[in-house]
Structure 1
Amino acid sequence: MMTHFIWLAGLAAAQSSQSILTLSGSIAQVTGADATPTLSLSDFEASTFETGTTYGLSASIGAPNATASKTTSSQNTLTVIAGGSGTTVGRNMTASTTITAQPTNTQPCNNYPEFCTRRYSNITEVCAHNSPFVRKNNAGSNQAYGVTQQLNDGVRMLQGQTHYVNGTLYYCHTSCDLLNAGSVESYFTEVAGWVENHPFDVVTILIGNADYEEKDVNGNPLVTSKNYVDPIEKSGLRQYIYQPPKTAMTLEDWPTLGELIVRGKRIIMFIDYNFDTDAVPYMLWEFYNMWETPYSPTDVNFPCTIGRPEGLSQNKSNSMMYMANHNLNVEVSIAEISLLIPNTVALETTNGVNGTGSLGLMSNSCTEDWGRPPNFLLVDYYNAGPFNGSVFEVAARANNVTYNQKCCGTASFATELPRPSATHFGLIITVAVSLMF
């Protein structure tokens, strides 16, 4: 059987719960060096696409080149997937049936069409440091808006510190007596709801296990990856989490955003300490997969050296993602607790695009030092800066795309798509087809 891999260029329907959308039908092939095929798939009478199920398919091909010809191949499997545009001659075909047209994508992935074809490891995203800690006039607060608004505005990495209290995991800053932002389950439930309604977005969750040094009565770690399984399952988050084929992924191992989106696995989850990938394989150890610049810095120079993990070799660090910690702090003492809190007075400079101590300068410096920009820009009060959306301007420049959206705290940056009806799907896909055995 021949398989046609279809380039996903514009998708106006929800993704299947299955890993791949597989359809059965016929497809017309255009020949000719300048042929640009357009395939329309419509009128699917089903509520979901399921692997191995046959749906009705009609295909029409238009060729702008008058010298191009059209042939039809029947009873093939059509697999809708975002991926490369290479061309290979398939079984029972001749070289003249190879299509070399380049696809043009119009569907944004994480807010930009250009990201659909990029590896997850080749994109710079804004990370909300201590995302759950939103409490006005509280020293432990790190953000002004809740997680739904953070995601609406374009934040795509969520980091937070958890504590285990009386058998329940909470998001707490240093101590739950200082700032308790609620249970991990309730936070995950809110994230899961947003992800469900935004089928073209990939979100990263980084868990800071603040109790990693605590032991149970038997001397074993009190909190490990296993403690998070229950809130993950109950919140509805589990169905969206991507489980990589390896526990330590290199830059080249990560799939593209388009591939993650088509598979419906749109959450990447890391934990900083006490990982257990044998018990929870989808919760990756952060420091097998990325390193960080110095954590909770008070140095306005924001060095791009390796802060965590210690002892990482140059060769290994070059093959991993990395996060730039850019949250300037001041040290204060509250109720005999010494902690670092955001230096809110300096936010206009810290979250700026240019100048000493700015996020933009750090991003540029890291790019020079490492030959590639940071994958994540961790910031406090992402909405603050010299202008509305300055941290997203920095990320856009690092990604070599144009930031043309406004922030923050009002309209959604990522468009929330309507859910399709149970009896009708409409797909209009501009494709480049690669025939493979």
Structure 2
Amino acid sequence: MLFHLVWLGALAAAQSSQPILTLSGSNRRLTGADATPTLSLSDFEASTFGTGTMSDLSARTGTVNATASGTTSENPLTLLVGGTRTTAVSGNVTASTTTTTARPSNTQPCNNYPEFCTRRYSNITEVCAHNSPFARKNNAGSNQQYGVTQQLNDGIRMLQGQTHLVNGTLYYCHTSCELLNVGTVEGYLTEVTEWVRSHPFDVITIIFGNFDYEQKDANGNPLVTSKNFLEPIENSGLKQFIYQPPKTAMTLEDWPTLGELIVKGKRVITFIDYNYDTNAVPYMLWEFYNMWETPYSPTDVNFPCTVGRPEGLSQNKSRSMLYMANHNLNVEVSIAGTSLLIPNTVDLNVTNGLNGTGSLGLMAERCTADWGRPPNFLLVDYYNAGPFNGSVFEVAARANNVTYNRECCGAESVATVLVRPLGVWLGMVVAVVVGLML
């Protein structure tokens, strides 16, 4: 796989006095059955790059102690380590240091933008797929058109979904597993892990929605907590990539840069909305210790930027935390006394647009003005729908002050597919509700 790498990934400019790890190369091709286009501490330990010897090459975010092996073609790999030091590896030589003040520019994207490598995780706006697992055609419980692999390929960097415990196994189900069951949490996380493994310069966030948080066991204890997620996380292989924060309640200044997360190989951040247990699962943070949300499941096209969850959060505290703008417009349907909220797909061109009342762009601007900083996450339904392909990512790019120039989304546009479904979905909702009542 041909690619050009110049990566200045560990620190922001303000931290220039600290060591910096730089990886560079030009038109390098990795060969061999096990070769993968990866760059992180774990990759060096797996010896996938170059033919030189690396000894005690230190960066602020970790230390490499390994011998590089493998086969490459064309240009050799160069390693630069230190704020004012450079260490070059070329051919079969031992790394040594020389003094220089020159620094390469960063051209390797982190989360799709080179500018993000030196930004804190808490200083970036990403798009979140609301109910990411629920992408099933012709089902009233769906919130997305494409599956999680395509979501991540298109630029989604936060995944959220509702889990249900059924006979001791966690499933992703919408409202009830009779309405929409897309499979086990383990199966979903296995697919996510495969994507994470093959995208070494990307950091993603997962929020586990614990639908059963109010259920109790025979002793009156919560039936489902963070501990129930241990098995699917470990069995899927995801655990090796999960970042464990040093604190259970992180402030904006506590979060590392994307570069630091990437070079450590810890590129997945996990939260749970209810029934956290950081003693049993220290890497799964309680969402509302670390992040607040604007009003949840909104039906109000004005999309207020006020604090919705958790209730009672002070202004001072909220300004030191991550925050998510819920921007998934719903329509309420009442059938035989049962009230359901389903995505308002008719207005997606406006809801996921850049301008006008009810648009994602207007909400991002208003929240930025209200709080002095953009939202960290923009939660949306059908991220691929809008006035043009990738409109939600354009909104995020403007909030981040970067240029969005990627292609989006999926195999085809859903603009024509989603113009008509409200009536069709209403009919399906009637059928499903009637079926559940029988």
Structure 2 counterparts to residues 108-257 of structure 1, below 5 A: 108-257=109-258
For residues 290 and 43 of structure 2, the distance between their equivalents in structure 1, rounded to whole angstroms, comes to 23
Whether the 8 Å contact between 2:44 and 2:64 is mirrored in structure 1 is no
Whether the 8 Å contact between 1:10 and 1:105 is mirrored in structure 2 is no
Aligned residue in 1 for 2:286: 285
Aligned residue in 1 for 2:65: 53
The root-mean-square deviation of aligned C-alpha atoms, in Å, is: 2.8
CA deviation map 1:121-178 (0-9, x unaligned) = 0000000000000111211110000000000000000000001111010001111111
Aligned residue in 2 for 1:393: 394
SS at match of 1:181: strand
What is the TM-score when the length of structure 2 is the normalising length? Answer: 0.76
Taking structure 1 as reference, are residues 56 and 216 closer, same or farther at Cα in structure 2, changes over 3 Å only?
closer
Whether the 8 Å contact between 2:224 and 2:275 is mirrored in structure 1 is yes
Q: Hey, which bits of structure 1, 4+ residues long, moved more than 6 A?
A: 19-23, 78-81
Aligned residue in 1 for 2:21: 7
Whether the 8 Å contact between 2:19 and 2:83 is mirrored in structure 1 is no
- Equivalent position amino acid for 1:257 in 2: L
For residues 411 and 339 of structure 2, the distance between their equivalents in structure 1, rounded to whole angstroms, comes to 35
SS at match of 1:53: strand
- Equivalent position amino acid for 1:182 in 2: G
Taking structure 1 as reference, are residues 192 and 335 closer, same or farther at Cα in structure 2, changes over 3 Å only?
farther
**How far is 1:218 from its partner?**
1.0
Taking structure 1 as reference, are residues 406 and 353 closer, same or farther at Cα in structure 2, changes over 3 Å only?
same
Work out the percentage of aligned pairs sharing the same amino acid. Answer: 75
Bigger mean CA offset, 101-110 vs 390-399: 101-110
SS at match of 2:254: coil
Bigger mean CA offset, 4-13 vs 312-321: 4-13
CA deviation map 1:384-403 (0-9, x unaligned) = 00001000000000000000
Larger RCO (CA under 8 A, 6+ residues apart) = 1
SS at match of 1:170: strand
Aligned residue in 1 for 2:9: none
Aligned residue in 2 for 1:317: 318
**Structure 1: runs of 5 or more not aligned:** 24-40, 58-77, 89-96, 412-437
For residues 20 and 206 of structure 1, the distance between their equivalents in structure 2, rounded to whole angstroms, comes to 30
Aligned residue in 1 for 2:51: 43
**How far is 1:86 from its partner?**
5.4
Taking structure 1 as reference, are residues 148 and 310 closer, same or farther at Cα in structure 2, changes over 3 Å only?
same
Whether the 8 Å contact between 1:9 and 1:107 is mirrored in structure 2 is no
- Equivalent position amino acid for 1:14 in 2: T
What is the TM-score when the length of structure 1 is the normalising length? Answer: 0.77
For residues 326 and 180 of structure 1, the distance between their equivalents in structure 2, rounded to whole angstroms, comes to 24
Taking structure 1 as reference, are residues 56 and 265 closer, same or farther at Cα in structure 2, changes over 3 Å only?
closer
CA deviation map 1:338-395 (0-9, x unaligned) = 2211000010000001111000000000000000000000000000000010000000
CA deviation map 1:75-122 (0-9, x unaligned) = xxx9978xxx8559xxxxxxxx86443441010000000000000000
Count of residues in Structure 1 that have an aligned counterpart in Structure 2: 359
Whether the 8 Å contact between 1:171 and 1:180 is mirrored in structure 2 is yes
The structure carrying a bigger helix percent of its residues is 2
For residues 397 and 300 of structure 1, the distance between their equivalents in structure 2, rounded to whole angstroms, comes to 21
Taking structure 1 as reference, are residues 137 and 392 closer, same or farther at Cα in structure 2, changes over 3 Å only?
same
CA deviation map 1:379-437 (0-9, x unaligned) = 000000000100000000000000011210039xxxxxxxxxxxxxxxxxxxxxxxxxx
**How far is 1:44 from its partner?**
3.9
